[in-house]
Amino acid sequence: MNMFKFNFKYFALTILLFITEVLIALYMHDAFIRPYGGDVLVGILIYCFVKSFLNTPIVPTALIVLVFCYAIEILQYFHYVELLGLQNSKLARIVLGTGFSWIDLLCYTAGMFVVLLLERIGHSVEQF
């Protein structure tokens, strides 16, 4: 099995999810989709990005992405944007985040459950 392999399906999903995240950031100012839906989708976005270039097993990839999301969230607790000297960069503050939240960890976990569910459904459909 060749580990490095471009997958157009995952790449297209990455682009679609990225556009969705940008639209949420720019236009959603509600109390549910922006704070929670965006965090659920960001884990899925990262998973699709990884799978765009790596032919890796589903569950280990989802777990690695989840740990990565957790790590970024934990770094927010330590104000790593400021430690990196990027506190004046609006883009860095949006992309990297600035505030730790236990709920965000739950949202990332939910995102990986969605990934696992969709991958399972996708593989079930492919077997027909």
Write down the domain spans for the chain: 8-126
Query: How many CB atoms neighbour CB 46 within 10 A?
Result: 23
* pLDDT tens-digit map of 51-61: 999 999 999 99
| Distance between CA atoms of residues 7 and 56, nearest Å | 11
Written as six digits, the tokens of 126 are: 């492919």
* pLDDT tens-digit map of 75-98: 999 999 998 999 898 888 878 888
Contacts of 74 (CB under 8 A, 6+ apart): 100
Does residue 30 surpass a pLDDT of 80?
Answer: yes
Average pLDDT (18-43) is 92
| Distance between CA atoms of residues 94 and 38, nearest Å | 12
